[in-house]
Amino acid sequence: MKKQRLPRTVEEFMAFAYAMEVEASDRYAELAEQMSTHHNREVSELFAKLARIEGKHRDQIAAQMGWTRTPDVPVFRWESPEGPETTDYGELHYLMQPYHALKLAEHNEQRAVEFFERFAAARVPADVKAVALEMAGEEREHVRLIGEWLARVPPPEPGWDEDMDPPAVAD
Amino acid sequence: MNEVPCTAVPPASVMRGPNDYKSDVKPVWCPGCGDFGVVNALAKAMAKMALEPQDVAVVSGIGCSSRIPAYMASYGFHGVHGRALAAGTGLKIARPDLTVIVTGGDGDGYSIGGNHFLHACRRNVDMTYIVMDNRVYGMTKGQASPTTEPDWDSKLSPDGTGLREFQPLVIALTSGANFIARGFTGDPNGLADLIERAVRHPGFSFIEVLSPCVTFRPEQKEWKKLVKSDALRPTADLPRAARRLLRDTGFDLGVLYAGDRPPYAPRGPRAARAPSDLEARFAL
């Protein structure tokens, strides 16, 4: 695969960070809708909350940069198929519980930490490196907060995904 | 047939984001279904091309994935089983100004609509066909489809069907499709790029999309570990594309073939009669 051109300015770097937050927020909102359609209200509300949190982070970046319109983000391939904070559609289950949703969120935040750390370690200008480390620190704080949240949520009982009225055809 | 009304037609020349191309109708697919990735990719591609929603028609047949027209804020037509390409072909011939995108699943497209698939490739009408292949009939509860592996053991086909799988890319190439690609729903950004290239390419463009069914084929969650991004590189050389297919793993993603055959253009004058004249003949 063709090698990516790394952002050379803080403006360019923040445009990528912004795109990452937009994608993560939109996906959580989408997952909230999916769960709502399947009457899993608790997890739906949790995903909606996560969407709002990521949305705040997105708006925070825009405010910090003084952007009044969405920045143009050049074509960029993340290291994974989607942004590091974006939940893979395939990770969902209609019977999932808040614990599972928070584990996904924790995993996403952890990937974001690693992404920004790798970025800071790459050959980028010093000011971009400093901002990347700052972003890594923010994401690390999110990992900690979700960890605290998880500690208050009971883990699922074995057999949580057993459906007494499964969609699969009977014998 | 049910015509899905255009749910949102904003004024022309408005800058739209991907979400503006999605309708207010919420998908009823199982959480985790790959088809969500196609809606996402299609909306991204439409936004990137800055298409006017009223200039796009999404046409489908029957099946889980064929619900897509209702979820897009463009014109849509949710037709009969296997006949999406026939409806799409007619629409494109009658309204060449529209961007016609035909969608469906492997059962709809390769079995019930298999004949239409062959001839759509051969005719080379300028439209895009997206097949969401999950190798199972999901809507009717998990029967083997044309692309199901011969040894897939299930309650409905114990020990597997023993039947050889349909080879969509081989069939498309030998039948004359002008653009052939394979995408994966776990990579909506890569898929959006493929859709954009397919729509922009003249003639009949075909994208086979690996779209896991998490309910009846949960093992397909592993596909994300098997796919190889950009493994297929476009060529306009037919024998070269054919040789590549001999080495294809079934999980190689990218553009296999981008030909230069001119799209079909109807000859002669357009019909002089207005659609209303025809409608009058069917009046009860």
Q: Which of A155-169, B134-148, B196-210 has the lowest mean pLDDT?
A: A155-169
- A86 lies in some domain: no
Chain A residues in contact with B186 by the CB 8 A cut-off are 81, 88-90
Judged by a CB distance cut-off of 8 A, whether residue A169 touches chain B is yes
Rg of chain A, C-alpha, whole Å: 18
- B9 lies in some domain: no
Rounded to an integer, what distance in angstroms lies between the CA atom of residue A82 and that of residue A105?
Answer: 15
Among B28, B40, B187, beta carbon nearest to A37: B28
The band of B32, judged by pLDDT with boundaries at 50, 70 and 90, is: very high
Q: Which range marks the domain in which residue A42 is found?
A: 10-67+93-151
A148 phi/psi in degrees, rounded to 5:
-65, -40
3 state DSSP class of A49: helix
The band of B277, judged by pLDDT with boundaries at 50, 70 and 90, is: confident
- A162 lies in some domain: no
- B155 lies in some domain: yes
Q: What is the dihedral of CA A71, A73, A78, A83, to 10 degrees?
A: 30
- A85 lies in some domain: no
Judged by a CB distance cut-off of 8 A, whether residue B16 touches chain A is no
Q: Is the pLDDT of residue A28 over 90?
A: yes
At residue B10, the pLDDT reads 41
At residue B11, the pLDDT reads 43
- A59 lies in some domain: yes
Burial class of residue B41, CB neighbours in 10 A (0-12, 13-18, 19+): buried
CATH number, domain of B105, equals 3.40.50.970
B281 phi/psi in degrees, rounded to 5:
-70, -20
- B164 lies in some domain: yes
Q: Are B105 and B209 in contact (CB under 8 A)?
A: no
Based on the structure, what is the number of domains in chain A?
1
H or E segment and range at residue A21: helix A10-37
- B22 lies in some domain: no
- A161 lies in some domain: no
CA nearest B39: which of B191, B165, B199, B145? B191
- A37 lies in some domain: yes
Residue B180, beta-bridge partner list: B206, B257
At residue A168, the pLDDT reads 59
The band of B266, judged by pLDDT with boundaries at 50, 70 and 90, is: confident
Based on the structure, what is the number of domains in chain B?
1
Rounded to an integer, what distance in angstroms lies between the CA atom of residue B18 and that of residue B48?
Answer: 8
Residue B48 half-sphere exposure toward CB, CA atoms < 13 A? 20
Judged by a CB distance cut-off of 8 A, whether residue B34 touches chain A is yes
Q: Which of A77-81, A83-87, B101-105, B149-153 has the lowest mean pLDDT?
A: A77-81
Rg of chain B, C-alpha, whole Å: 18
% of chain B beyond a pLDDT of 90: 85
At residue A4, the pLDDT reads 62
Q: Which of A8-22, A34-48, A61-75, B81-95 has the lowest mean pLDDT?
A: A61-75
Q: Are B189 and A82 in contact (CB under 8 A)?
A: yes
- B17 lies in some domain: no
Mean pLDDT of B141-147: 94
Q: Cβ A90–B31 below 8 Å, yes or no?
A: no
CATH number, domain of A98, equals 1.20.1260.10
Rounded to an integer, what distance in angstroms lies between the CA atom of residue B122 and that of residue B177?
Answer: 6
- Residue scoring higher pLDDT (A149 or B6): A149
Rounded to an integer, what distance in angstroms lies between the CA atom of residue B135 and that of residue B212?
Answer: 8
Q: Are B184 and B253 in contact (CB under 8 A)?
A: yes
Sign of CA dihedral B68, B73, B77, B83: negative
Q: Hey, what are B239's tokens?
A: 């024998």
Judged by a CB distance cut-off of 8 A, whether residue A35 touches chain B is yes
Q: Is the pLDDT of residue B8 over 70?
A: no
Rounded to an integer, what distance in angstroms lies between the CA atom of residue B234 and that of residue B154?
Answer: 37
Rounded to an integer, what distance in angstroms lies between the CA atom of residue A141 and that of residue A113?
Answer: 9
- B46 lies in some domain: yes
The set of residues, in sequence order, having a beta carbon less than 8 Å from that of B189 and lying 6+ positions away, is: A77, A78, A81, A82, B41, B44
H or E segment and range at residue B133: strand B127-133
Q: What is the pTM of this model?
A: 0.91
At residue A24, the pLDDT reads 95
CA angle B154, B158, B162 (to 5 degrees): 105
Exposure string for A97-129, b = 16+ CB within 10 A, e = fewer? bbbbbbbbbbbbbbbbbebbbebbeeebeeebb
Q: Is the pLDDT of residue A170 over 60?
A: no
Largest CA distance in chain B: 58
- B152 lies in some domain: yes
- Residue scoring higher pLDDT (A77 or A2): A77
Q: Within 10 A of A148 (CB to CB), how many other CB atoms are there?
A: 8
At residue B36, the pLDDT reads 97
What integer best gives the mean pLDDT of chain B? 92
Residues A50-109: pLDDT tens digits?
Answer: 999 999 999 999 999 999 887 776 656 667 788 899 999 999 999 999 999 999 999 999
CA nearest B231: which of B184, B189, B165? B184
What integer best gives the mean pLDDT of chain A? 90
Chain A residues in contact with B22 by the CB 8 A cut-off are none
Query: E strands of B185-247, at which residues?
Result: 204-210, 228-232
Q: Cβ B224–A90 below 8 Å, yes or no?
A: yes
At residue B9, the pLDDT reads 39
Judged by a CB distance cut-off of 8 A, whether residue A59 touches chain B is no
Q: Is the pLDDT of residue B4 over 60?
A: no
Q: Hey, what are A53's tokens?
A: 């949190």
Mean pLDDT of B181-206: 97
- Distance (Å) from the C-alpha of residue A93 to the closest C-alpha of chain B? 6
Prediction ipTM score: 0.89
Rounded to an integer, what distance in angstroms lies between the CA atom of residue A8 and that of residue A13?
Answer: 7
At residue A165, the pLDDT reads 81
Q: Is the pLDDT of residue A1 over 50?
A: no
